[in-house]
Amino acid sequence: MAQMAHMAQRSARNTLFTGVRQFTSTPSIHLPPKKGQKAQPPRKASNSFTKKNKGGGKMKTETHTNTARYEKLQGPQPDLSFMSDFLPERLTQSSLGSPLKFTKNDLSFIKHTGIPPTLAREFDAQTQPHAVIRASTLKSIDYLDKAANSPSKDTRLVLHGDAGSGRSISLLQSVVYAQQSGYLVIYIPNSQHLVDSSYDYLPPSQSNSIWSQPALSASLLRSFAESNKDKLVNVKISQDYAQVKKDDSLYNLCMHPSKSEQSAVEVFEGVFAELNKQSTYPTLLAIDSLQALYQPTLYRDQHFNKLQPYQLSVTAKLLELISGRQQFSKGAIVAATSSTPTSMQIPPLLLAQLGLQPQKPVNPFHKWNVNHLNNSQGLKLVEMNKLSFAEAVGVFESLGKTLGLSYPMSDELLLSKFTEAGGSPKAFTTSLRNML
């Protein structure tokens, strides 16, 4: 009985409060008119681009798009006529420190291969991509001129220097020069993606110990084919591969895995076999972030042990060329170390093979990987020296004329920023950019 009385009291309380508070989600203007009232006409939406003047009439206000505002802030486009185009005949000792601009045709291959993120950000900030010619670039180009008629085993270079020393841009300049000079170019700007477990891989067969990377093989062949199409269509293959017949073009062989990925690993091996034999064009293999190929990868075997680069089909083939066990009949290998990614720093083993002192003490009880030692034999160091004054003048003039500095360009400003940078191209450029 007490429970029934309590429920009756709660019901009465709910009824009382329901009559006092009413909730509605419909604005009163949209409700139907009450009995005896006329419906109100709908209100006109206010125009956010007009405002009333003092006389009560409407006055149009000036509106701008974001693009117009940006153009007003930026001002007119800078005049780049003082820069010459990046051409092989201009790359002499007299061009040291000169800024040369890349044309769209020069960099057309990067839509297939990509470029390192640091260079992408640098080029995005420029009206037209350009770079100052440095001594390391001229040295690499001299090697490429000699390698055009000799086996790639004789020319295996590594660009190395401190962080921000310009390794990636020097490598890119060498790549552009090689393409303009008639080379076939295999450009891999981010070699960490070869080993970061971002592609499918298959276990080895009973007769082989190499793990297959079909998707990565197809991707590299496609980028190589599209960025060298004008030359590859002229190279005929010497035998049948998969469904591609003898005397077909090397371009069609490279593109075949895009239609049938199952044959990608076989075709990848076949393409490099043909490149090793053909003598129509010299071949350049250019690799950035080389250190990724001399340490354990993020791929794992069935026991969850990390695989080494020489255990994966794509990187194993590249290491055979880098080590000189295989070679192009004509051409060169040019690679660069990098400070990125931070998870793949340059191992002491690679530094020692280049004749450099490791930055950290080496544990005498730590056994170095014999395969990595063999794969780094015979590499020649091209050291990235500190920024010279002639190179600094070129950077200073190009930034001042293309971006505009908030301070007057003067010898005092150049000398002060050059001294502050301590020979680092990145520090010098960043210091000048901060003045914009």
Per-residue pLDDT reduced to its tens digit, 270-298 = 999 999 999 999 999 999 999 999 999 99
In which band, very low, low, confident or very high, does the pLDDT at 52 lie, cut at 50, 70 and 90?
very low
How many residues make up the chain in this entry? Answer: 436
Shared domain check, 167 and 98? yes
Angle, CA of 353, 172 and 109, to the nearest 5°: 130
For 39-53, 94-108, 246-260, 365-379, which range has the lowest pLDDT when averaged over its residues? 39-53
Shared domain check, 176 and 138? yes
**131 falls within a domain:** yes
Domain of residue 292: give its range.
77-356+372-383
pLDDT score recorded for residue 6:
53
| Burial of residue 299 (number of CB atoms within 10 Å: 0-12, 13-18, 19+) | buried
What backbone torsions phi and psi does residue 143 show, to the nearest 5 degrees?
A: -65, -40
**40 falls within a domain:** no
pLDDT score recorded for residue 413:
87
* pLDDT at position 32 over 70: no
Shared domain check, 405 and 298? no
Shared domain check, 321 and 177? yes
Identity of the residue numbered 242: A
**41 falls within a domain:** no
Report, as an integer, the average pLDDT of 406-429.
87
Shared domain check, 253 and 224? yes
Shared domain check, 328 and 281? yes
DSSP 212: B
* pLDDT at position 263 over 70: yes
Q: Which residues contact 169 (CB under 8 A, 6 or more apart)?
A: 119, 122, 131
User: What would you report as the CA-atom Rg of the chain, rounded to the nearest whole angstrom?
Assistant: 32
In whole angstroms, give the CA distance from residue 87 to residue 95: 11
In whole angstroms, give the CA distance from residue 340 to residue 361: 21
Crossing angle (nearest 10°) for helices 214-227 and 264-277: 40
CA end-to-end distance (rounded Å), the chain? 85
Shared domain check, 397 and 325? no
Shared domain check, 405 and 270? no
**63 falls within a domain:** no
Shared domain check, 343 and 393? no
Shared domain check, 408 and 378? no
pTM here? 0.81
Q: For residue range 340-372, what is the model confidence (pLDDT) as tens digits?
A: 888 889 999 999 999 998 877 778 888 899 999
Report the helix count and the strand count for the chain, using DSSP H and E: 16, 10
**5 falls within a domain:** no
Shared domain check, 196 and 218? yes
Domain count for the chain: 2
**72 falls within a domain:** no
Q: Which residues contact 345 (CB under 8 A, 6 or more apart)?
A: 291, 339
Shared domain check, 240 and 122? yes
